Structures are given as structure tokens and as C-alpha cells.
Structure 1
Amino acid sequence: MIDDIAFRLIGVTRTPEGFDRGIEFDDLATIAETAGTSGEPRGVMLTEENLASNAIALSEASGGDGDELRLSFLPMEHLYARTCDLYTWIVRGSRLVLADSPKTVFRDAKIVRPTVINGVPYFFQKAIDLAEANGESLRSLLGGEIKRCYCGGAPLSPAVEQRFFDEGVPLFTGYGLTEASPVVTVNTPAAHKLGTVGRALPGVEVRIAEDSEVLVRGPNVMLGYWDDPAATADTLRDGWLHTGDLGELDAEGFLTITGRKKELIVLSTGKNVAPSRVEALLCASPWIEQACVVGDGEKGLRALIVPSRERLRAEVRKRRLWVFSKRGALAHAAIRALYRQEIDERLANAAPQEQVHAFTLIGRGFDRERGEMTAKLSLRRETISQRFAREIAAAR
């Protein structure tokens, strides 16, 4: 899929005239929907300059000569894929192959042999699990020619990031949001720090407000929200985009995202917890496919845990447990004990308020088609909490 903006990018990057051919740099180019993780999606108004500057800056920060082959599987309706795969491909003059579907990525990688892949945390954790199950390296799993991977959309466990580096497949994390076209910061081969989401792109400024909110300013920041002047005025203040994300900047300019303001869980003890950080630590376990943490107003956190089907099935067979259904396996004392130990180990270095006090193993994963995840596979917590209210109440 090559859209109108992609063709315009060809013009701005391939001809000296750039946008002089009847196209104004500040023209409205597209209205992109936000992910809607903490409310109704909004229409984000983005200009030619927003999108072109972001794709060009991302290409510049990534380095290299553009001699690469990208395998793309993320949904193109989301700006992450459109900018980081489609538009960046055009800016760099490289090659792009679309996977048959998200479910065939690993098969397609062995056919195409890509050098670059953009993905979300779930994909990279799944890659580790599959490589271990097949007894092969991550490099081999991804086609044998992979030079680097990029991850965005949600927090990634440092353990997953380190595992890729240890196997000679650099995995660079970044941060962004639709309102910023979307990339704000990224780790690169030239500037990388484990556990952070990298430095700001060229031409983009990042600062931390007094309440730890991440603020962004630059040519990539949106015009505003479509037909919502109140939300625009609240989000764009004094020339800065108020992202709603919480973060820290170190002395070298590397950004660490610590949570999202609207998603903070406030325990009855008064302690605040960023659920996405806890979930990233849990999902680094090969035993855990997905996790959703709740606990607002309670003494401690509760977690909905989606087990790895393959590992769970193999464990039942290995122990010769007397179970005759999936529900029986999830409720079996031996399986619960195994997951209790795994959860505790994954959170061993987390703060006391980040410990999971009770959990429930659930029989299906959170699903985009059911409205439980966004296009970039972020959790819609309110929907999940309502849909799994009985399971959350039964957590122990």
C-alpha cells in the first residue's frame, strides 16, 4: 500500500523543488486516529511537514547507507508502520516487503531474509520463545541476514532487549505517539543505552515537566485534534506537546518512560504504580504470553496472566498431571505454584509496590478484534477490566 503522502515524500526527497509543486508544507496531509488506550480515539491532524520531517529525521538518526530490506507486518492504519516502514523506506531508497500476515512473519522472514524489522514487544518476546522451542538462534529465526530490529508501541523488558544483543541481533527501542508523527526518540547504532528509549530525533526537543510528564516540541508535532479545540488547547500548551507519558532524561539526553499519567495505579497505601513497567517485566518470561495488571484502590496489585500454551501443555505432560481440560490445567495447584514462582522471580528487583499479590491464569489472550488491544497491540485496560471482572475478583 503506497498512499498519497508516500508519493509526496518521493518528491521531497528525490527532487530539489520538494514541495514547490503546488503542495504547501503546512497543508493538512492526514487525520490519524490515536490508539485510544485510555478513552475514545481522537483524530490527529498532521501536515506534510509533520510527516516528512519525521521520516527524514528518523532516517538520518538510523544511519547507514539505506542498503536494506525491510519486512513489514504492522498494520498500516497505524502511524508507527506508516512512518517507520513505508515513509522511511521511501526516504532511504531501500527495499520493502509486506508480510503475508502478522501470523506468517517468521515464515516470511526465512523466505525474504530481511535486514531490518520493526515490531512491538509482543513480537520480540514471541521470537525468543519460538527460537528456544525450535532450538535455533534468533538470527536464523529472522532469516539469517538480519542486521537490526526496532521496537516501539509499548514498554520492552530490558531482558528481551539484552537477549537480542547477546545473540548479535541489535534491538533498538524508541518512543513516540501519533501526535508526534509518531517518533520522538530512538536508540541507534551510534547512540544506544539499554533500558532507555533513546535520544530525541534531530530537530526534536524533549523536556520533563515538574510532574514528570514528557513534553515534546518540533516540526513533527501535530496541528491539533480534529473538531476538538478543547482537547487541542489542553494538549498543546506554550508550543509544547504534553504527551501524557511520564519519564526521565539522563545527563546524556537518553529518555526513559516510567509510565502514563492516566494509567497510574494508586494503591490504598498511597503508592503509585506504572502498570506497563510491571507487565513488561512479567512478559519477559517465556511462560507468560500476556499480562494485565490492575489494583486501583487496593492494597496490592492483581494480574491477569495469559500462559504460554506450548509450555503449559508440555508441563502438564511432563508432570503427568490429572487434568482433563484447559480450565483444569489453569486451576491446578502445581501449575499455579509454578506461575507464582515465575512471577516472583521476574519481579525480584522491582519495588515493593510493584509486586503482584494475586493473579489469575486465563484461558485466552487479549485480542484486538474484541477491542481489548489497539492497532499497535497496546492494552485497553478499561475494556479488559470490565470483560474480565469475574477473573480479577477471583485472583488469589
Structure 2
Amino acid sequence: GEIIYRQPGIFLGYYNDSAKTAEVLKDGWFYSGDSGFITEDGHVVFLDRVKDLVKLASGDKLAPQFIESRLKFSPYIKDAWVLAGPDRAYASVIIIIDYDSVGRWAGQRRVAYTTFTELSQRPEVYQLVKQDIDRINQALPPGLRVKKYVNLHKEFDPDEAELTRTRKLRRTFVGERYRELINAIYGDKTEVPIEAQVRYRDGRMGTIKTTLSIKSVEGAAR
């Protein structure tokens, strides 16, 4: 919900703007415009601005950028794209692994791969990513937890109009581009076939056909 508070030193209002003051000050309470929740141990967790929340089919309001930014704290995750909306019963996330970090991790454990695509789909890497999703889910109320995830076969690319030049995700564009994948996630599929260009470790380019796994996050509903 929205974070509201009151205290003896709260401000009296906006200068010469009674309408704006009436929006944020009600019966001595200050309506911050920020969304958050209180944990079981009494801590207030900030999520996002209320205006930037996305409503799920359940009526719960989700902060996609809160989840995305915290997932990207992981050294193994380069980008994250949270899927949510009024026609979706739960949140899912599409993950872009950090090729260098995950590659080093895989090498230390003798996990074989030749391309970004192959590495992203290794079961060991899916389990690695799940650990970070579990960590985020533990900080979220049950209705807002990520319940499914996919490791994408490639990085988001500004040259393909998936990102802006400042690396902000172009959500409408990628939503159309990966519509088949999104439909598979919410159609309770466990995998989806794709055809894609790949760059091999020696710099060569090629086209491959592969299958992306769609994984469920056990315990996310609790």
C-alpha cells in the first residue's frame, strides 16, 4: 500500500498551492506517493512510486523495477525483465545472465558450453539464477512473488532496439518481440522453441535452433 505517516514536525503544506497540499495532507497524515509494506519484524520496505505500480489479476500491485533492480545486484544477472499486468495472475521474470561471471562460475565447476545460448540453458545455471530469485521472493509478500522464470538465449541489444542507448528496456517493443515466449510462460508451457543468431566464443556468428526452458519457482505462492 501507500506509505503514509505523521509526526510533530510535518510540513504545513505547499506554498500557494492548496490543491496540491490537499492531495498529500489528510487529517494530519502525509501521503508520500511511495509504495511499500511492513515486514513481520516491523521494517518498512520501499517498493516504488505508487503511480509506477502494476496491478495483477488478483488485484495485488507489483513494483517491477523493485524486483528487477534487486535481481541485478547479483553478479550472475546482467538484466531482468519482470512480466506483470491486469491479465496475469502472477509475476514472471525473463533473465539475461552475465556471460562473463556465469562463464567463470561454470568453468570452475567444469560445466561445458560453447555459446551464450547453451550456457544460459544449462540446468546448473537455471538453479544458480533460482537462488537469486528465491532471495528476492523472501523479501516480498506472497502475492507479489515471482512464480516463473526463463533464461533468455541472448542479451538485450540496443542495436536491435531492445534497449535505449542508456540501457533502459524498451518494454513495449520487447513485449511484442517476445510475445510467443510470454504466451508460453502464461500458457503453462515448460519450454518454447526458438531460432536465433548466436556469437561463438571465437567471434564467429551462426544461427541455431534451440529450446528455452520455462521454470517454476517452488514455494513462491506461500
Count of aligned pairs: 151
> Alpha carbon RMSD of aligned pairs, Å?
3.0
User: Could you tell me which residue of structure 1 aligns to residue 192 of structure 2?
Assistant: none
Question: Counterpart of 1:353 in 2: which secondary structure?
Answer: helix
Cα contact 2:57–2:89 (8 A) shared by 1: yes
User: Could you tell me which residue of structure 2 aligns to residue 247 of structure 1?
Assistant: 34
Question: Counterpart of 2:126 in 1: which secondary structure?
Answer: helix
* Distance of 2:147 and 2:49 partners within structure 1: 20
Cα contact 1:265–1:294 (8 A) shared by 2: no
User: Could you tell me which residue of structure 1 aligns to residue 188 of structure 2?
Assistant: none
Q: 1:269 aligns with which of 54, 58, 61?
A: 58
Question: Counterpart of 1:386 in 2: which secondary structure?
Answer: helix
Cα contact 2:62–2:84 (8 A) shared by 1: no
* Distance of 2:144 and 2:103 partners within structure 1: 29
Q: 2:97 aligns with which of 278, 288, 307?
A: 307
Question: Counterpart of 1:357 in 2: which secondary structure?
Answer: strand
* Distance of 2:140 and 2:156 partners within structure 1: 25
* Distance of 2:77 and 2:22 partners within structure 1: 33
Structure 1 residues 284 and 385, CA gap change in structure 2 (3 angstroms): same
Shift of 1:306: 0.8
Structure 1 residues 316 and 378, CA gap change in structure 2 (3 angstroms): same
* Distance of 2:155 and 2:140 partners within structure 1: 25
Shift of 1:378: 2.7
Structure 1 residues 208 and 260, CA gap change in structure 2 (3 angstroms): farther
* Distance of 1:264 and 1:285 partners within structure 2: 23
Cα contact 2:58–2:89 (8 A) shared by 1: yes
Cα contact 2:79–2:97 (8 A) shared by 1: yes
User: Could you tell me which residue of structure 1 aligns to residue 110 of structure 2?
Assistant: 320
Cα contact 1:278–1:354 (8 A) shared by 2: no
Shift of 1:207: 6.6
* Distance of 2:70 and 2:103 partners within structure 1: 23
* Distance of 1:375 and 1:308 partners within structure 2: 19
Cα contact 1:282–1:347 (8 A) shared by 2: no
More strand per residue:
2
* Distance of 2:22 and 2:158 partners within structure 1: 32
* Distance of 2:22 and 2:170 partners within structure 1: 26
Does structure 1 residue 295 correspond to structure 2 residue 89?
no
User: Could you tell me which residue of structure 2 aligns to residue 253 of structure 1?
Assistant: none
Structure 1 residues 209 and 350, CA gap change in structure 2 (3 angstroms): farther
User: Could you tell me which residue of structure 1 aligns to residue 38 of structure 2?
Assistant: none
Shift of 1:374: 3.5
Structure 1 residues 373 and 325, CA gap change in structure 2 (3 angstroms): closer
Structure 1 residues 207 and 283, CA gap change in structure 2 (3 angstroms): farther
* Distance of 1:279 and 1:381 partners within structure 2: 13
Cα contact 2:62–2:144 (8 A) shared by 1: yes
* Distance of 1:374 and 1:273 partners within structure 2: 24
User: Could you tell me which residue of structure 1 aligns to residue 138 of structure 2?
Assistant: 348
One-letter code aligned to 1:267: L
Give runs of aligned pairs for residues 175-194 of structure 1, distance below 5 A: none
Question: Counterpart of 1:364 in 2: which secondary structure?
Answer: coil
User: Could you tell me which residue of structure 1 aligns to residue 75 of structure 2?
Assistant: 286
Cα contact 2:99–2:116 (8 A) shared by 1: no
Cα contact 2:81–2:95 (8 A) shared by 1: yes
Give the TM-score of the pair, scaled to structure 2.
0.57
* Distance of 1:355 and 1:265 partners within structure 2: 13
Q: Give a deviation string over 1:23-69, Cα, whole Å, max 9, x none.
A: xxxxxxxxxxxxxxxxxxxxxxxxxxxxxxxxxxxxxxxxxxxxxxx
Shift of 1:336: 0.6
Structure 1 residues 208 and 272, CA gap change in structure 2 (3 angstroms): farther
More helix per residue:
1
One-letter code aligned to 2:125: I
Cα contact 1:360–1:391 (8 A) shared by 2: no
* Distance of 2:64 and 2:133 partners within structure 1: 14
* Distance of 2:75 and 2:22 partners within structure 1: 34
* Distance of 1:371 and 1:324 partners within structure 2: 26
